[in-house]
Amino acid sequence: MRRPRLAVRTAVLSTLLLTGSLSAWYFTRPTVVAGEGTPVVVSDSRLPLFQWTPGEERVYRFTWDDLQRVELPMPVPGGAASSGAVEGTLHLEGSLALRALEVRPDGTRVRLSLKSLERHDAVLSGQQLFPDAASVVTQLPESASAWVELDAKGALLAVRFSEAEPAMFRQLAQTLAAELFPTTLRDAAEWDVVESNQTGEVQARFQFDGDSVLTRRRTRYVSLNAAGKERPFQQELRSLTRFERAPDGRMAGVSHDESLDATRTDGAPLMSRRMRLRVTFSARSMAPLLATNEDKPLIRKPEQIVFEGDKETALLRSQADGMTVDEVLRVLTSATRPESIPELDRFVRRAIAALKLEPGRTRELAASFLRPGVNPGLRELTMDVLAGTGHAQAQALMRELLQAPVAREHETSYGLMLQRAGFLEAPEPETARMLTTLREQARAGNDVATRRASEYALGGVVSKLPSGDPNVATYLRPLQDSLRDAKDPQDRMHALRALGNTRQEAVLDQAQPYLRDDSSEVRAAAAESLRGVPQEIATRMLLDSLVQEPERLVQAALLDALDARRLDGADLERLRAWVVSGGMVSGVEATLLNLITHRIDGGGAPVLQMLQALALRPGQQSSTRARIMSLMAQSSAELGG
C-alpha cells in the first residue's frame, strides 16, 4: 500500500529541518502538577535565564522564515562527486503560548502550543506542504502541545510529545524550542561552548549585556549533520541570537538570525540556510493548574534528529523527483545517444533513485540494452545506472548483460562497461567470481583489453570487501600475478593501477620498487597505486619519492596521491622544504594548489610559505597567480594577520 503523500513530504521535510542521523533518548521524571502557591525559583545571579510562575500563560507573536538547501550525496559510478539537492522554504507567522506547568528547584516544565497561524507557507522542492486550510488544521492543530523541559539554569534539556501530536507539529516545535532556549547556560558574564543542535555541533560565544539581554554568537560549525562523516568542510557563518527578558525576569522576546553556506573541500555545495526568527511578548493570563492524566512519552534532546516515517524511502523519492521506471525505460529506448538526453547527470541520479524504489522492475532495462546496433554509449549509460543502483537485482542484470554477445559489439565500449562493476558499493560474491572468470578467459585468449578491464574492476571489488574477508587474498592474487608477469611498461602501468584500486596494505610492497622504475609512466602509476592505501607509511614513501623525482608527469602523480591522504604538520613541512628549495618543475603548480586549497584551514605556516614561494615563480599564468594571491590572503587570515 502506498504511503500517503503528505506523510512522505513530512518525512522529507525533516531532512531539511532535522538533517542528521536517527537516535533515541529517554528519561523519565514523575509528573508533578504545581499549584498556584508553588514558590518561583529565584537566584541572586543572572540565572535562571527566565522566571516562570506556575499557571501563567504568556502569549508571543512570532515570525519564522527558514530557507534551506541540502545536497544529498548519491553513489555515482566512478566515484565522481554527485548529489541531489533538496530545497525547502518555510514561512510561519502567528501566536504561540508558553505556559509554566511546573517550577522545581531542579528545573521547569513549560507547555508550548500554537494559538494561531495567519501565515503558513511551506514549500518542498516546488510542492506545497500546506495546500489548503484543512492540511494546516490536520498537521498544526491548536490542540497540539509540547512540553519543554528546562534545567535549573533555564537551559533546554528536551522536548516531550505524545503520540497524538502530528509529525509536522513535533518537528516544528522541536526546532522552535531549540532556538527559544539555549542548551548551555553558565553563571558568568561571558563564556564559550560547543553546542549540539539539529544542524550540527557549533562553537558559540554567550555574553550578558547587563541583566536584560543575553547574546549568542555562533562562530563556526565543528560538524554538520548534512556532511555525515565528511571533514573538513568550508563554511561562511553569520549568526546572532538575543534572548531578552523583562524587568521582572520573564521572557520578553527572542530574535535569531543565521546565515550559513557550507561547501566541500573541492568547492562543491554542501548546504545553505537562511533563518530569521522573531518572538515578542503579546499578553499574559493566569489559570489554575488542574490535575491531568496527560503524558508525553516521546522525548527528544535538542540535537536529536528524528525522521517521521521511512527516512530512506523519503530521501529516494526526493532524489527521484518524480522520475519513474516507466520514464527511465522511455528515455533509454527513444534516445539515439547519451548526449541527446537533457541534463544527463540529473537523469542518471533520478533513474538510480527510481530503480531503488522499484527493484522488482530492474530486469526491464535489458530490452533497450540488448537491441542490436544500439549506440554503445547508451549501453554504457545503462551500466552506469545499474552500478549506481547496486542492489541484488541490478547486479544480477549487470552480470547477465556483460556476458551477452551483443555487449561485445564495440570492444572499447565493452571494456568501459566491464569496469563499471568495480564501482559497486556492495559487490556480491557472484559479481567478483564473474570478473575472475572473465579475466581468466581473456588471458587464455590473449584479449589484453578485456583482461585489463576485468582487473581494474576486480580491484574495485576488493576495496569494498570488509577487513579480514578471506576473499581479499583470493581476488588479490591474480592482480599480483599480473604485475609479476608484466613484460613491458604498459603492462606494469595497468597492473599497478588495478592493484591500487584494491586499497590494500599489500600494495605497499608491490608498488615500492616501481617508484624507481626507468619508465616515468610506471613511476606515476606506482604513485597512483598508493593513493588509497590506509597505512601512514605510504605518505612517507610518496614524499621520499617526490624529493628525488625530476619529471613533471611523476611529480604531478605524487602530489595528486598526497592530496588524497592525511598530511600532518611534519608532512606539510617536508612539502614546504621541497617547494622552497626549487625542486618542483614547471607545470605542476595547479596540482600543488589543489593540495594546498584542501588544507588552507589548519595548514599553518608551511602552507603560507609554499604559497609565497609559488608567488615568486616566474612565468605564471594570470589565472594561476590570482588563485595563489587569493589563497595567500585566506592563509594569512587563518594565521591571524
- Please check whether the two domains, 5-33+46-308 and 427-547, share a CATH topology: no
Q: What is the dotted CATH code of the domain comprising 427-547?
A: 1.25.10.10
Identify the band that residue 636 occupies on the pLDDT scale cut at 50, 70 and 90.
confident
Q: Tell me: cis bond preceding 232? Omega within 30 of 0 counts.
A: yes
Question: Any idea which residue has 566491464 for its cell?
Answer: 418
**Mean pLDDT, to the nearest integer, of 335-348?**
94
Cα-based distances in Å from 308 to 9, 11, 82, 286: 10, 5, 26, 35
pTM recorded for the entire structure: 0.58
Q: Domain coordinates of the chain in residue numbers?
A: 5-33+46-308, 322-425, 427-547, 567-641
Query: Is pLDDT at 323 greater than 60 in this prediction?
Result: yes
Identify the band that residue 73 occupies on the pLDDT scale cut at 50, 70 and 90.
low
pLDDT digits (tens, 9 = 90+) for 370-384: 998 899 999 999 999
Mean pLDDT of the chain: 86
Beta strands (DSSP E) in 295-447 are: 298-300
Q: How far apart are CA 256 and CA 216, in angstroms?
A: 9
Q: How far apart are CA 138 and CA 397, in angstroms?
A: 44
Positive or negative torsion for Cα 386, 387, 389, 392 = positive
Q: List all residues 6 or more positions away from 475 whose beta carbon is below 8 Å from its beta carbon.
A: 432, 436, 458, 461, 462, 465
Q: What is the largest distance, in Å, between two alpha-carbon atoms of the chain? A: 93
pLDDT digits (tens, 9 = 90+) for 431-456: 999 999 999 999 999 999 999 999 99
Q: Which fold has domain 5-33+46-308?
A: Lipovitellin-phosvitin complex; beta-sheet shell regions (2.30.230)
pLDDT digits (tens, 9 = 90+) for 289-316: 766 667 888 888 876 655 555 557 767 8
Quote the pLDDT of residue 620: 82
Q: How far apart are CA 450 and CA 439, in angstroms?
A: 7
Query: Is pLDDT at 224 greater than 60 in this prediction?
Result: yes
Cα 329-332-334 angle, rounded to 5 deg? 100
Query: Is pLDDT at 21 greater than 70 in this prediction?
Result: no
Query: Is pLDDT at 43 greater than 50 in this prediction?
Result: no
Q: Which of 65-69, 306-310, 404-408, 543-547 has the lowest mean pLDDT?
A: 306-310
Quote the pLDDT of residue 95: 96
Quote the pLDDT of residue 546: 96
Query: 56-73 and 83-104: which strand pairing?
Result: antiparallel
Identify the band that residue 41 occupies on the pLDDT scale cut at 50, 70 and 90.
very low
Q: How far apart are CA 122 and CA 88, in angstroms?
A: 7
Identify the band that residue 639 occupies on the pLDDT scale cut at 50, 70 and 90.
confident
Q: List all residues 6 or more positions away from 30 whose beta carbon is below 8 Å from its beta carbon.
A: none
486 vs 26, residue with greater confidence: 486
Quote the pLDDT of residue 429: 92
**Mean pLDDT, to the nearest integer, of 125-145?**
86
Burial call 61-82: b when 16+ CB within 10 Å, e when fewer: bbbbbbbbbbbbbbbbbeeeeb
Question: Any idea which residue has 550525496 for its cell?
Answer: 73
